[in-house]
Amino acid sequence: MTRALLTDFYQLTMLAAYHEQGMMDTAVFEFFVRKLPPHRNFFVAAGLESTLDFLARFAFTAEEIDWLAGLGKFKPAFLDWLGKLRFTGTVEAMPEGTPFFADEPILRVIAPLPEAQIVETRLINLLQFETLIASKAARVRLAAGDRQLVDFGLRRAHGEEAGMLSARASYLAGFDGTSNTLAGMRWNIPVFGTMAHSFVQAHATELAAFAAFARAHPQATTLLIDTYDTEAAAAALVPLAHELHAEGITIRAVRLDSGDLLAHARQVRAILDSGGLPGIKIFASGNLDEYEITRLLAAGAPIDGFGVGTRMNVSADQPYLDCAYKLQEYAGRPRRKRSEGKATWPGRKQVFRRFDAQGRMLGDVLTVVGDEQEGTPLLVPVMQDGKRLAPAPPLSELRAKTLAQLAALPETLRRTESAEPYPVVVAEPLRRLAATVDAYGH
């Protein structure tokens, strides 16, 4: 459970001022991403479930309030009030797994100003990261077609929660499983794993390591064959695999983790095939991402599955999103930030999405809430009076819906390289509102 004190200190200094002034009217904040990073054609919304969980349980502990009191910066009446603060607001959002585009809000909070403000930091912290990874993982899934994809990134993820949430976000976006065992337990994600180089090194010979591992795991054995010399290991494996087969043990796959994966995969495939082992699959890992997988498959690499780690789990080519959680309305009046390069569309907004007869996405309209446009409205109510409107759907169900939506993306957007932007039209009522807010001066 998230501590309420996991927040930027300015949220507390602002709340103290709001409390002093009695500014408790309804505020509307929206979370959106300002622009698509280079090479990206779409985002995939994620982080809603963890955000709702955070909002539903939001409360300061007595220990936290005591610590704040010890700073000597806050009045006792404010801290008393802060200790009782809960999130009682309304949330409207796109379901996890929904593709979206720049400037489209994926989540709206409607709550008394201090409540909507204090949750900002953690809300961005969750939505930004989970969306970042789901968006990256979806590209890897599209690049890999229907080949097996396993998240291998826990070790270089940025700490524990990053490892957990990226296992979840990559599964949501279509991966088949993860090496992160705790994520497997928490969200019922299939877990995968075989052996490290150290296992091979700890044995007297590579072949002894293979035999020992296969006998300890007679079902679905995958052997790592690149510790010393990949092709020599593949050749040595041929008689061993037949010997093990006679014992009833089947080698399912070999893993390549270094060097020129294309060349090694071709040579290993040839060695295994000519050794009468066409059923042994080739699984590759090591510095993979959507670009490298696209390159390998375009070259015809005989690779059946990929372990994708670091570059996906830290979204290495774009490790953050230019996102914001902005005040759009306070006390019934629309607001707009106009800082250079950071101006925002004011008011409460909705996104309508149109589809063709085959269910393929045609285009979106961004407009003000209340302006009915053709298509499906993407933001739906998910929380009221601080309570979820429905229990969290099973992750496997969200994953299936995500895959269906990735299939509905225009073909050009499904590619690894930049495409013509997806059409997002800003409707006239929203343009008028922005002009009105500007004329008014805020």
Q: Is 59 in the site for a copy of itself (CB under 8 A)?
A: no
Of the residues 44, 124, 172, 365, which one makes contact with a copy of itself according to CB under 8 A: 124
- Out of 42, 58, 213, 345, the residue judged to bind a copy of itself by CB under 8 A: 213
Task: For residue 106, state whether it binds a copy of itself (rule: CB under 8 A).
Answer: no
DSSP per residue, 346-392? -S-EEEEEEE-TTS-EEEEEEEETT---SSEE--EEEEETTEESSPP
Residue 45, token pair as written in the block: 């919304």
Options 24, 202, 232, 425; binder of a copy of itself; rule CB under 8 A: 202
**Which of 30, 103, 104, 120 is in the footprint of a copy of itself by CB under 8 A?**
120
Positions 282 through 311 that interact with a copy of itself (CB under 8 A): 310-311
Count of beta carbons in the 10 Å neighbourhood of residue 283: 24
Burial (CB < 10 A; 0-12, 13-18, 19+), residue 422, is buried
Residue closest to 43 by CA, chosen among 103, 123, 1, 108: 103
CB of 363 to a copy of itself, least distance (A): 30
CB-CB neighbours of 141 under 10 Å: 25
Order the strands of the 148-151 sheet from edge to edge.
177-178, 148-151, 305-308, 281-285, 251-256, 221-224
Between 133 and 351, CB nearer to a copy of itself: 133
Please tell me whether residue 184 binds a copy of itself under the rule CB under 8 A: yes
Structure token digits, residue 251 = 């080698």
Query: Could you say which of 71, 298, 357, 390 contacts a copy of itself (CB under 8 A)?
Result: 71
Could you say whether residue 194 binds a copy of itself (CB under 8 A)? yes
| Residue 6 within binding range of a copy of itself, rule CB under 8 A | yes
Binding to a copy of itself in span 227-246, by CB under 8 A? 227-228
Q: Which of 152, 283, 345, 352 binds a copy of itself (CB under 8 A)?
A: 152
405 Cα distance to chain centroid: 15
Asked if 46 touches a copy of itself (CB under 8 A), the answer is no
One residue of 59, 77, 201, 431 binding a copy of itself per CB under 8 A: 201
Q: Considering the rule CB under 8 A, would residue 10 count as an interface residue with a copy of itself?
A: yes
Tell me the closest approach of the beta carbon of residue 441 to a copy of itself, in angstroms: 8
Closest distance of CB 367 from a copy of itself, Å = 22
| Residues within window 348-387 making contact with a copy of itself, judged by CB under 8 A | none
**Choices 38-46, 312-320, 373-381, 428-436; region in contact with a copy of itself by CB under 8 A:** 312-320
Q: How far apart are the first and last CA of the chain?
A: 37
Our finding on whether 419 is near a copy of itself (CB under 8 A) is no
Among 35, 57, 155, 387, binds a copy of itself (CB under 8 A): 155
| Stretch of 91-99, 210-218, 386-394, 421-429 contacting a copy of itself, by CB under 8 A | 210-218
Measured CA to CA in angstroms, residue 90 lies from 82, 128, 270, 332 at distances of 20, 20, 60, 15
Q: How far is 189 from 184, CA to CA, in rounded Å?
A: 4
CB of 338 to a copy of itself, least distance (A): 5
Q: How far is the CB of 48 from a copy of itself (least distance, A)?
A: 15
Give the nearer residue to a copy of itself in terms of CB position, either 336 or 353: 336
Instruction: Please report how close the Cβ of residue 387 comes to a copy of itself at its closest, in angstroms.
Output: 23
DSSP 227-281: SS-HHHHHHHHHHHHHHHHHTT--EEEEEE-SS-HHHHHHHHHHHHHHTT-TT-E
CB 28 within 8 A of CB 348: yes
Nearest to 102 by CA among 361, 341, 321: 321
The binder of a copy of itself chosen from 141, 326, 348, 399 (CB under 8 A): 326
What does the alpha-carbon distance between residue 326 and residue 254 come to, in Å, rounded to a whole number?
Answer: 50
The whole-angstrom separation of Cα 382 and Cα 369 is 16
- Closest to a copy of itself by CB, 224 vs 361, is 224
